[in-house]
Amino acid sequence: VFFFSSRRRHTRSSLVSWARRCVQETGINAEYMGFMISQGLRFIGSDLAKKIDAELMGELGYTLHQLAELAGLSTAQAIHHFVEKKFPTKPKDKFNILAICGPGNNGADGLIAARHLAQYKYKTQIFYPKPTEKDFYKGLVQQCKIMEIPFLEAMPSHDSLSKNYDLIVDAIFGFSFAGEIREPFKSIINEIGSSGVPIASIDIPSGWDVDKGNINHLFCPEMLMSLTLPKTCAKDYKGAHYLGGRFVPNCLTKKYNLDLSLIHIS
């Protein structure tokens, strides 16, 4: 997981010191921690994101199961880091998280992230309004139920969200979503946007146009977990921004000029 900020420039040495301190304070294994230098940062559009996914799951031999597990684990680690920084005094077992999962791959990432967050001892619940009838997704649901993670039967109102949750994980739509937002997700997005609860979005904020940004004037999350590379819609994003993508092989970084300019912590 990599964290980077677009708010100010840092020297290379100060970034190294900051990242090492984050590793020590959060307890996240250094193998998964790092950060991105904002200079030369590459943003990708929906077409390139689809090409990279297709190549990863084609001749490069990755599977959907593998990429989803990496994405969900990265998201859980980033959320843990974000919560430790933003809510340092609140115990994890009293920190209430609601993961709202859509019917596609972004929803799968959310289910996996919820499972890992529960293993981190956060008080986690899931709302999964349109379950996908494929074995992979059914397996993810079963894994969460084995962890005794509650599944809500109805979407809480914005007032209920405000009273009962400390963080909402937005895993509704990913970069492949396009077109009109339909029910029940239109109402769900409106509820979470008006709740005042901090939101952590996976890859893109749900309902945003991948290439044009927040053209529908929806919520802006406090945290964004970009996957592989940040999408074009995040160019002007000013919140806490994380990146999970250490699985991208060198052949793809060279082919698509994806030099991440990363410093790894060891």
Neighbours of 265 (CB within 10 A): 15
Number of CB atoms found within 10 A of residue 1's CB: 22
Task: Please tell me the distance from the alpha carbon of residue 145 to that of residue 239, in angstroms, as a whole number.
Answer: 32
pLDDT tens-digit profile, the chain (266 residues):
555 544 444 444 554 454 445 444 444 333 333 334 344 567 899 999 999 999 999 999 999 999 999 999 999 999 999 999 999 999 999 999 999 999 999 999 999 999 999 999 999 999 999 999 999 999 999 999 999 999 999 999 999 999 999 999 999 999 888 888 999 999 999 999 999 999 999 999 999 999 999 999 999 999 999 998 899 999 889 899 998 867 788 899 889 988 655 433 22
Residue 81's pLDDT is what? 94
The pLDDT of residue 179 is 83
Report how far residue 65's alpha carbon sits from residue 214's, in angstroms, rounded to the nearest whole number. 30
Q: How far is CA 164 from CA 6, 33, 217, 259, in A?
A: 31, 30, 25, 42
What distance in Å separates the CA atoms of residue 206 and residue 248, rounded to the nearest whole number? 24
Strands of 151-152's sheet, edge to edge? 151-152, 123-127, 96-101, 167-171, 199-202, 223-227, 240-244, 2-4, 34-36, 262-264
Residue 243 confidence (pLDDT): 87
pTM: 0.85
Residue 263: the pLDDT is 33
Look at the chain and count its residues.
266
At 62, give phi and psi (nearest 5°). Answer: -80, 155
Q: Quick one: pLDDT at residue 259? A: 64
Count the Cβ atoms, other than its own, within 10 Å of residue 37. Answer: 16
3-state secondary structure of 133: coil
b/e code 138-167 from CB counts within 10 Å (16+ = b): eebbeebeeeebeeeeebbebeebeeebbb
End-to-end CA gap in the chain: 13
Residue 141 is predicted with a pLDDT of 98
**The two structure tokens encoding residue 83:** 């919560």
For position 213, what pLDDT does the model report? 94
Tell me, what's the pLDDT at 192?
97
| Contact indicator for 127, 165 with CB cutoff of 8 Å | no
Q: Is 240 left (phi over 0), alpha (psi -120 to 50) or beta?
A: beta
